[in-house]
Amino acid sequence: MKKLIVTLCFIIVNQLVFAQQTNNTISIEFKDISRMEAIQLIESKTPYKFYFDLDWIQADKSLISGAYRNVTIESLLNSVFSKTTLNFIVLQNKIILTNNSLIYDKLAANYFATPTNTSVKNPNITTENPVFYRQYDSVNNYKKNSTITFIGKETKKDTTHFYLLSGYIKNAITQKPEPDIAVRVKSKNISTVTDKEGYYILKVPGGINTIETTSIIHQKIIKTVMVYKDGKLDIEVADKANQLDEIIVHNKEKRAVETVISGLVSIDIKNIKNIPLILGELDILKVATTFPGIKTTGEGSAGFNVRGGKEDQNLILLDNAVLYNPQHFFGFFSAINPYTASKANIYKGSIPTEFGGRLSSVFEVITKNGDSEKVSGEGGIGIITSNISVSFPVIKNKASLLVGARSTYSDWVLKSLNDESLKKSEAGFYDGIIKYNHTIDKKNAVELTLNYSHDRFRLTSDSLYKYSNRLAALKWDHTFNKKNKAALIFTNSEYKFNIDYDTEGTNAFDFGYKIDEKQVLLKFNTLLNDKHKLNYGLSSKLYNIDPGFLSPKKTESLLLPINIQSEKGLESALYVSDEFKVSNKLLINYGLRYSFYASLGESTQRVYAPNVPLNDATVIGENHFAKNEVIKTFNGIEPRFAARYSFTDSFSIKASYDKTYQFIHLLSNNVTQSPTDSWKLSDSNVDPQSAQQYSLGLYKNLNDDILELSLEGYYKRSKNILDYKVGAQLVLNKNIETELLQGQGKAYGIELLLKKQMGRLNGWLGYSYSRTYIKMDSEFNEEKVNNGNYFPANFDKPHDVTAVLNYKLTKRYSISSNFVYQTGRPITYPIGAYVYNNAEYTLYSDRNKYRIEDYYRLDIGVNIEGNHKIKKLAHSFWNISIYNVLGRSNPYSVYFVTENDGQIKAYKTSIFSIPIPSITYNFKF
């Protein structure tokens, strides 16, 4: 196209000399004929020959009439083409028609502009330079598949800068109008949204403009338009599901630079399939840890540390219900079925007021809805696990069911091994999910999610460990009117673990723990006006904890049965927040959450003397509370504030302040979270935790949103963070409060993220520098750690670099890589030995004074898409990946053992010290 135009220009310039000479007059009459017929008529009556593209003329079916006497060919043609976008030039006997463009017979004065141009300009007359193709040539951001659309007819005299561009947006397949699609002019801060009929109107500057549509469910359309005058641009959009070839992680709903929330990581599961992961398993939570600010203590750790928060400070939600243990197999797999999850939002900075109860973050995982039109499914076959999910319509276009299941077959692998001790082992997990969604009518929709995951492992012949998550969520969405919506949600979550110790001796026992949570949520959304969006609601949660029992399995057992009294608590909250669009540039979101917690009976609570350490000696009495009697209440107001100021359309700054309370604590004196860690509720002797976070971020999109750059910083203070006295015993402890310390925490950090969302090379690079400290101070030695000074927390890893890169070689082959580097985590080191009372003891350093070696790892994967035949049973792809290509033996644990000769030896355990290959076959039908 471009070449053709350039050639055309040359021809024209060469002929210029003769152009002005043909001034013969013509008399002609038209009556209700098409322009095509008019041209033919002119050709028959005059020596002029027309040169044009047939499509231009045939596109216009309107008929013309008119009688002309002794007019020049120019005025005749001006009249004929007056209502079209066609321009013409008369060259001797040739008439060349052009669509939109005007062929200039002189170049604009400043076409070859030099800085020394001395032309005098009259400021009172707006002379607009003609828009030349040269401008188009220099637009370096046009897309490979985009062609230029010309809008309006260019005129020689034009004094307006802005034109109206309007049109309809239709679905490419259904041809129905598409409402609520954002249409904007790139880099120009001009945007609008289509109305019910799919109509939009934009005021755009003349010249080249890049028009872009954005919508959650549709593919993004980018059109480059050359605007000469007011004009029409109809756009067809396709559903997004049809395309997932380039974007890895894409914040589809809104550009990060536009939203008010800082510290939000959105992951779309559909788009993470290329990342090489351990054992070929897709894992939404593992992907989360590749973003700055989200870390794990190490390989095989079940928990996450978000911006210096402890493992128990993350609210992990699956369709609004809390998932207590999000991991399988000590954290090597996540308990969330990757094929049924649709996306995850991780709020690590400002947390919307609708969420509460945890200090550091919210992991909001949303399950896919089933396909209500046809049966479809997908699955994966890997070396350890296989899974399948099938979706089918229950009531066509109204209700659907999605069923997903996953299981390991590691038992079979273990049994086939030659090693005797491994033959007796078993290890495995399974999980299943059912999601039903039903659109009752335009105003009501119901959704039900049921999820169950189960793990079991037997690594010695006599002990069987089991743990399971069970959750259910029922949601009813109701739309009152255009401006008011509500959702009523019921959830129930249960987590339990059990150790069945079945020894041959008399000491066989059964040990278990269980937590159950029931919740009701009522959420409202009100669109007050263009400027105010309100979110408000209430929630209430009832916890029931059975903190542990131990029952001997044999009657002759010397073990005493133990049953720790159960715990009960009611956590309720009211919240309201307003998203206030102060101006186009300033958007704020402010709100309050009021949390109220009551610890409930039946219970016997010890009373300790005030202001002394809690221990057996400071007990001054006991109080008994009847069933459901309030033991103690706590409440607090949690202000949440976030603001975004846009300097330009692609550059903004955000600030936020958040306060959070947490009434439930995970007891874990391990460095890493383990499945047998138990949750404890606040009561008269354990106070709730609280935190305040201040964050500030800069967001910049470069190259028309192809590159997203963000820099975020935060500072966090927390109170009543749990820690443990030296040598604390947490399992089956009736008076656990005597082992606990509650201290202060402080954390700060900066996070840098560069994302490239499209192109053959895409992915992201992240870096964070963060520090986390805690302080346990008291006037009593027993309650002091490191003499009451701040010390680095177990998960304090200052430097963290991640790079996830994906390169598409061809349509079928792509390679991806994942690199992680982290500073080694702190460790309490044995620094010497001493003798006390004739026995030898180890002297330890200050808590977390030293560090283990740094962690780094590189994974590489290759994805091979199945063939692209149209008629095939299933769409498939292979994923071949190698985990830890460098074979780095990263320490999982460093521990110290006193050998028989009294020597202390240090050992390092690595989980994957060699490259681990894996292969997975994924299919879709």
654-713 residues in contact with another protein (CB under 8 A) are 669-671, 674, 676
C-alpha distances (whole Å) from 924 to each of 238, 373, 377 are: 20, 16, 6
Helical (H) or strand (E) element with 420: helix 420-423
Beta carbon nearer to another protein, 147 or 837: 837
- Give the x-and-dash track for 527-566 against another protein (CB under 8 A): -----------------------x-------xxx-x----
Beta carbon nearer to another protein, 630 or 726: 726
**Among 63, 395, 620, 833, interactor with another protein by CB under 8 A:** 833
Q: Which two structure tokens, joined as six digits, stand for 15?
A: 């002929």
At its nearest, how many Å lie between another protein and the CB of residue 335? 17
Beta carbon nearer to another protein, 57 or 550: 550
List beta partners, residue 377: 390
At its nearest, how many Å lie between another protein and the CB of residue 612? 10
Summary count for the chain: helices (H), strands (E): 8, 57
Q: Among the candidate windows 56-64, 111-119, 473-481, 828-836, which touches another protein by CB under 8 A?
A: 828-836
Pairwise CA distance, residues 661 & 664, whole Å: 10
Q: Which two structure tokens, joined as six digits, stand for 825?
A: 């985590």
**Among 63, 109, 173, 617, interactor with another protein by CB under 8 A:** 617
**Residues 320-349 contacting another protein, CB under 8 A:** 330, 332
For 44, the 3-state DSSP assignment is helix
Q: Are 127 and 119 in contact (CB under 8 A)?
A: no
Pairwise CA distance, residues 646 & 189, whole Å: 10
**Residues 492-511 contacting another protein, CB under 8 A:** 499, 501, 505-507, 509
Identity of residue 706: I
Beta carbon nearer to another protein, 74 or 411: 411
- Please report the DSSP string for 398-409 in residue order: TEEEEEEEEEE-
Identity of residue 374: K
Beta carbon nearer to another protein, 387 or 519: 387
Nearest to 676 by CA among 424, 893, 457, 892: 457
Q: Among the candidate windows 369-377, 390-398, 410-418, 520-528, which touches another protein by CB under 8 A?
A: 410-418
**φ, ψ of residue 412 in degrees (nearest 5):** -65, -40
Nearest to 365 by CA among 336, 394, 398: 336
**Residues 187-246 contacting another protein, CB under 8 A:** none
**Residues 419-458 contacting another protein, CB under 8 A:** 419, 421-422, 425, 427, 457
Q: Does 139 bind another protein (CB under 8 A)?
A: no
Beta carbon nearer to another protein, 469 or 884: 884
- Give the x-and-dash track for 597-616 against another protein (CB under 8 A): ------------------xx
- Give the x-and-dash track for 787-806 against another protein (CB under 8 A): x-x-----------------
At its nearest, how many Å lie between another protein and the CB of residue 723? 8
Beta carbon nearer to another protein, 120 or 835: 835
**Residues 707-746 contacting another protein, CB under 8 A:** 724-729, 731-732
CA 176 centroid distance within chain: 30
Helical (H) or strand (E) element with 77: helix 73-80
Q: Among the candidate windows 305-313, 448-456, 754-762, 823-831, which touches another protein by CB under 8 A?
A: 823-831
Beta carbon nearer to another protein, 251 or 848: 848
**Residues 894-913 contacting another protein, CB under 8 A:** 894-898, 903-913
Beta carbon nearer to another protein, 163 or 883: 883
Pairwise CA distance, residues 218 & 252, whole Å: 9
Nearest to 428 by CA among 406, 404, 450: 406
Pairwise CA distance, residues 484 & 541, whole Å: 25
Torsion of CA 306, 312, 314, 317, to 10 degrees: 150
Beta carbon nearer to another protein, 519 or 918: 918
At its nearest, how many Å lie between another protein and the CB of residue 380? 17
Beta carbon nearer to another protein, 192 or 463: 463
At its nearest, how many Å lie between another protein and the CB of residue 849? 8
At its nearest, how many Å lie between another protein and the CB of residue 499? 8
- Give the x-and-dash track for 379-408 against another protein (CB under 8 A): ----xx------------------------
Q: Which two structure tokens, joined as six digits, stand for 360?
A: 């550091």
Rg (Cα) of the chain, in Å, rounded? 35
Q: Does 588 bind another protein (CB under 8 A)?
A: no
At its nearest, how many Å lie between another protein and the CB of residue 757? 32
**Residue 890 buriedness (CB in 10 A; 0-12 / 13-18 / 19+):** buried
At its nearest, how many Å lie between another protein and the CB of residue 183? 50
Beta carbon nearer to another protein, 300 or 380: 300
CA 618 centroid distance within chain: 50
Tell me how many residues contact another protein (CB under 8 A). 101
Query: Burial code of 109-147, b = ≥16 C-beta within 10 A, e = fewer?
Result: eeeeeeeeeeeeeeeeeeeeebbbeeebeeeeebeeeee
Beta carbon nearer to another protein, 281 or 579: 281
User: Pairing between strand 190-193 and 264-268?
Assistant: unpaired
**φ, ψ of residue 649 in degrees (nearest 5):** -60, -25
